[in-house]
Structure 1
C-alpha cells in the first residue's frame, strides 16, 4: 500500500507539472519566432554569437508570454469552464489549482525578468513592457472594441523590436508595418470565428463580441489584407536588399489566401497557432518563403 501511495503521488506530481507547462501554452510560442526577423533581415544569420543571443531572447519571451497565459487562465477561470474547448485547460478542468498556478507564475516571472535584464537592460525593459501590456489586455483592453486587436498587434511589434534591439541592428519600418497588419489580420479572423460559434448556439464567452458585427469585421479584414500585401511589396521594392526580394511576394499572397481558405472551410480561425502547426501547404509555403529570403539576402 505504501508503495502504491508513492507511485500515485509521483503520478500526481508529474500530471501537475505537465498541467503547469500546458498552462503556459507552448503551442502559442511560435509567435515569438518573430524575434528572429532582425537577425535574418540584417544579414547576420550566420553570426554564431548573435544567433545564441536571439535564441536566449526567444526563450525568455516564451517565458514572459507563458506567464501572461497563466494569469489569463486564472482571470478567465469561470468563463473558460463554459467554453467547449477552453474548459479542458488545466486550470479550468481542475488539473492544476489556482494556488499552484500562481506560485509557478511567480517563480518563472522572477527568474525570467532577472535573466532578461542581465542579457540586456533595454531588452529587459521591452520584455517587462510586453508583459505589462498583455496583462492590461487580460484585465481591461480585451474588453474595448478595436483596442483589443490593436493591442495584440502592439505585442507582435514589441517582439520584432526586442529581437532587433537585442543584437543591435535596425529593422525596416515596412517590416514593422507588415507585422502590425498581419497580426491584426489574425486577430480579426479570430474574432470572426468566435462570432460564428456564438451564432451557432455557443454561449458567449467574450463580452466584446457584442460590439462587433460580421460586416464590420469583414470591412476591416478587406483593408488589413490588401494593406498587408501592399506593405510587404513596398518593403521588397524599397529595401536596400536585392531587387530579387520581389520574387517572395507570391509566397506572402498564397499564405494569406491559404489562411483565409482554412478559416472559411474548416472553422479554425479561433486557433491560429493550430493552423500554423498543422496545415502542411501553409507550413511548406512559409518554409519556402524563409528559404527564398535567406537565399536572396545572403547569396544574391
Structure 2
C-alpha cells in the first residue's frame, strides 16, 4: 500500500515535469546529450589558436573531427549520468525536466546509447587521429564515468575532475596537431576552468541553501565560504598566469602596430571581473549560459579574442 501511494504521488509529478521533446524519442535522446553544452568543446581550438596554427591545412581537417569525437564522448557521459541520477533528478526543481528524469527516455536506453557512443568515439579516434588523441579521449571517458559513480561524492576531488575535463578539451586540439602546450597555457586554462567550476558550485550552494532536493550531496558538505575562497583563488591565479604570459612574450621584439599581448590583459581581467559579478551573486550557472545571456561579457570576450588573434599573428 505504501509503495502504491508513492507511485501515485510520483506519477503526476513526472507527467507534469516537462512536455515531451520535439522529435519524439530521438529528440529526447538528443536533448539528453546536452546540445547547448557542446559549445564547451570549442576549447579544442585553444592550443592551435595559441600557437598560430588554427588555419593550417591540418587544423582545418583534424579540429572538426576532434570536436565531433569529444562531443560524442561528452554525450556518452551525459546519457550515463542522467540514467544513474534519474531518481534524484526528479526531486530537483530544474533537473526534473531532463528527459530521463521526466520519463521521456527509458533508463536502459540511455545506458545503451551512452555505451555505444563511449565505445565508438575512442575507436574512431584510434583509427583517424594520432594515438595521443585516442588515449586522451579514453582517459576522459574513464575519469568522467568514475566521477558519475564515485568521485562526485569526494570533497575537492569532484572539483578537480570537472576542471580536468575542461583542461582536456583545451589540450586535445594541440595533441591532434602535435603542438606541445606551454606552461602558461596550462596554468591559465586550468585555473580559469577551476574558477568557473567552483563559481557554479557556489551558485548552486547559494540557490539550494535551506531547500530540499539538492541532487549534489556534496553541496551540503561544502560551505559557501569555502567555495567562495576557491573561485576567488582560482580567478587570481588565472589572471596572474595570463599576465605573466603576456608580459614575458611581450618583451620579445615584434613588428605589430601595437603591443596586443599586453593590451589583451585588460580585456582578460575585465572578463574575469565581469564573470565574478555573477559568481558573487550566486547566479553563475553553466559557463556558456553566463556568457550568452550577458551581452557585456560576450562583447568583452570578443574584444579579447580579437586582441589575442592580433597578438598571435604579430600584427
Structure 1 length as normaliser, TM-score? 0.90
Q: Say yes or no: does 1:196 pair with 2:206.
A: yes
Q: What corresponds to 2:303 in structure 1?
A: 288
**Alpha carbons 2:196, 2:231 under 8 Å: kept:** no
Higher mean C-alpha displacement, 198-207 vs 88-97:
198-207
Q: Say yes or no: does 1:180 pair with 2:190.
A: yes
1:238-294, Cα deviation, whole Å (9 max, x unpaired): 2487553111111111111111223444x4323322112322211221122111111
Q: What corresponds to 2:294 in structure 1?
A: 279
Tell me how far apart the structure 1 counterparts of residues 21 and 308 of structure 2 sit (CA, whole Å): 47
251, 266, 282: which one pairs with 1:250? 266
Tell me how far apart the structure 1 counterparts of residues 278 and 213 of structure 2 sit (CA, whole Å): 24
Q: Say yes or no: does 1:144 pair with 2:154.
A: yes
Secondary structure class of the residue paired with 2:23: helix
C-alpha displacement of 1:168: 0.8
Superposition pairs for residues 89-238 of structure 1, below 5 Å? Answer: 89-118=98-127, 119-238=129-248
- Structure 1: which 5+ runs fail to align? 1-10
Tell me how far apart the structure 2 counterparts of residues 109 and 102 of structure 1 sit (CA, whole Å): 10
Structure 2 length as normaliser, TM-score? 0.86
**Alpha carbons 2:167, 2:186 under 8 Å: kept:** yes
Superposition pairs for residues 28-39 of structure 1, below 5 Å? Answer: 28-39=37-48
Between the two proteins, the alignment pairs up a number of residues equal to 289
C-alpha displacement of 1:129: 0.4
Secondary structure class of the residue paired with 2:43: helix
C-alpha displacement of 1:299: 4.1
- Structure 2: which 5+ runs fail to align? 1-19
**Alpha carbons 1:39, 1:54 under 8 Å: kept:** no
Tell me how far apart the structure 2 counterparts of residues 247 and 258 of structure 1 sit (CA, whole Å): 17
Tell me how far apart the structure 2 counterparts of residues 222 and 100 of structure 1 sit (CA, whole Å): 41
**Alpha carbons 1:68, 1:135 under 8 Å: kept:** yes
Secondary structure class of the residue paired with 2:299: helix
Secondary structure class of the residue paired with 2:238: helix
Higher mean C-alpha displacement, 107-116 vs 88-97:
107-116
**Alpha carbons 1:193, 1:270 under 8 Å: kept:** yes
C-alpha displacement of 1:131: 0.8
Tell me how far apart the structure 1 counterparts of residues 37 and 130 of structure 2 sit (CA, whole Å): 24
C-alpha displacement of 1:219: 2.0
Tell me how far apart the structure 1 counterparts of residues 297 and 24 of structure 2 sit (CA, whole Å): 33
Secondary structure class of the residue paired with 1:103: helix
C-alpha displacement of 1:13: 9.3
Q: Where is the helix percentage greater, Structure 1 or Structure 2?
A: 1
**Alpha carbons 2:37, 2:288 under 8 Å: kept:** yes
C-alpha displacement of 1:65: 0.7
C-alpha displacement of 1:79: 1.0
